[in-house]
Structure 1
Amino acid sequence: MIKLSPSILSADFSRLGEHISAIEKYGADWVHIDVMDGMFVPNISFGAPIMKAIRPLTKMVFDVHLMIEDPGRYIKDFVDAGADMITVHYEADKHIHRTIKYIKSFGVKAGIALNPGTPVALIEDLIEDIDMVLIMSVNPGFGGQKYIEFSGKKVAQVKALKDMYNKELYIQVDGGIDSSNVKKVIECGANSIVAGSAVFKNDEIEKNIKALKGNF
């Protein structure tokens, strides 16, 4: 089953609780929480206290994407705030295997994210230790960017590793996904879809989610 994980970075923060309730009502599976530190990426978003505040609002999986330098420093904070899955960037961590093991020590699922310029081959030795690979289909840091076309090839490469190791693995795509291209990335092997602007645009959440899931 393909999981839809709307990125609340594109929600109206003055109506965040309302928007979280709406995505749950209209068929989203997870809540994608983009954490930015202004160092690994140019933008700053929010941290564990905001996540902790919204945790009681839904039983949906909290899919936490840490776009931060040296993410191991903050894993426990996000576990304590209610994360169900924590994804860290291969490029941001000098000791990525240790950080993955640390995340899993809390009983939380662990993922690795790859920027557009990072080859899939670099994570082959880690596949058996992780629960998800996140393929960034834009350069991280800003919402509303255009999908990078070669991302589908990278999704297919992860799918090949998944099959080679007979591994249960979420293959997530994040960046520029909408109803015009979501079917294409699913055909390449994606089974978890992050969408921000495509879910929250024009405050037509029900319509937007139906348009996306109509391609699943």
Structure 2
Amino acid sequence: MNVRVQPSILSADFVNLQADIRRIANADGVHVDVMDNHFVPNLTFGPQMVGRIQAVSPIPLDVHLMISDADRWAPGYAELGAFSVTFHAEAASDPVALARRLREIGSRAGIAVKPGTPIEPYLELLPEFDQLLVMTVEPGFGGQSFMGDMMPKVAAARAAIDASGIDVWLQVDGGIALDTIGRAAEAGADTFVAGSAVYGAADVEAAISDLREAASRHTH
């Protein structure tokens, strides 16, 4: 199983964002958290900013939309050229139609579930998605503590993905660090979003390598 580490630029220096994105060139993607101060109580990037990040990033963009009315807004991020666009199940009225639209435009389509959202209704829809994101914190702010009680949900998703035989990435986001990534990998995650664990390190590149290695030791 391939292990992917995608640093969240929510923990980067917004004034020196281009430089901070270049510092993570050995990562597997840039995780871009788009928040609208409505779906979650925080406000970050919009399409204009994401377009500029797309233009300067040396690695693919993994855009995570924590916004209301995803059906309306998500396709615009795919049109910017993002490698992957993930929207929240709780914010989409027709997740399957939206995923098909994102794929049609040329992005990978991801669906995310908050900690309190059951995953079972979405497991039968797996062929429609390229990525399933299980939040391991409540979405909205970086630096939160990892929710270990989400691991059964990750394990259930892994079992469904393996049973389906399709290539769906299983991503976790929230509180991922050297002391938690092994648990998430053991449960079946293969794609890991880390913010402060990367950007808070003295050596950013080494932090990414260390996280990848720690996850690899626990993958099945």
TM-score, normalized by the shorter chain, greater than 0.5: yes
Q: How does 1:22-101 map to 2 (within 5 A)?
A: 22-24=23-25, 27-101=26-100
Q: Which amino acid aligns with 1:37?
A: D
Residue 113 of structure 2: aligned partner: 114
Residue 129 of structure 1: aligned partner: 128
Identity of aligned residues (%): 39
Contact 2:4 2:192 in 1 (8 A): yes
Q: Which amino acid aligns with 1:169?
A: V
Tell me if 1:20 matches 2:31.
no
Unaligned runs of 5+ in 1: none
Q: Which amino acid aligns with 1:212?
A: L
Separation of aligned partners in 2, 1:37 and 1:58: 23
Separation of aligned partners in 2, 1:133 and 1:55: 22
Residue 148 of structure 1: aligned partner: 147
Contact 2:201 2:207 in 1 (8 A): no
Encode CA deviations 1:106-133: one digit per residue, 9 max, x unaligned. Answer: 1211011010011110102211110010
Separation of aligned partners in 1, 2:105 and 2:80: 12
Q: Which moved more, 1:70-79 or 1:173-182?
A: 70-79
Q: Which amino acid aligns with 1:18?
A: A
Residue 6 of structure 2: aligned partner: 5
Separation of aligned partners in 1, 2:135 and 2:111: 11
CA deviation after TM superposition for structure 1 residue 51, in Å: 1.2
Separation of aligned partners in 2, 1:4 and 1:12: 19
CA deviation after TM superposition for structure 1 residue 203, in Å: 5.1
Separation of aligned partners in 2, 1:149 and 1:112: 20
Residue 186 of structure 2: aligned partner: 187
TM-score, scaled relative to structure 2: 0.93
Contact 2:7 2:29 in 1 (8 A): yes
Separation of aligned partners in 2, 1:94 and 1:203: 43
Separation of aligned partners in 2, 1:95 and 1:77: 16
Q: Which moved more, 1:200-209 or 1:133-142?
A: 200-209
Encode CA deviations 1:76-119: one digit per residue, 9 max, x unaligned. Answer: 32123221111110111122121111111112110110100111
Separation of aligned partners in 2, 1:210 and 1:163: 26
CA deviation after TM superposition for structure 1 residue 152, in Å: 1.4
Contact 1:51 1:82 in 2 (8 A): no
Q: How does 1:151-166 map to 2 (within 5 A)?
A: 151-166=150-165
Separation of aligned partners in 2, 1:203 and 1:73: 40
Encode CA deviations 1:136-186: one digit per residue, 9 max, x unaligned. Answer: 000000110000111211111001111111111100000000000101111
Contact 2:88 2:111 in 1 (8 A): yes
**Partner SS state of residue 150, structure 1:** helix
**Partner SS state of residue 214, structure 1:** helix
Separation of aligned partners in 1, 2:71 and 2:151: 29
Q: Which moved more, 1:204-213 or 1:2-11?
A: 204-213
Q: Which moved more, 1:148-157 or 1:204-213?
A: 204-213
Q: Which moved more, 1:100-109 or 1:191-200?
A: 100-109
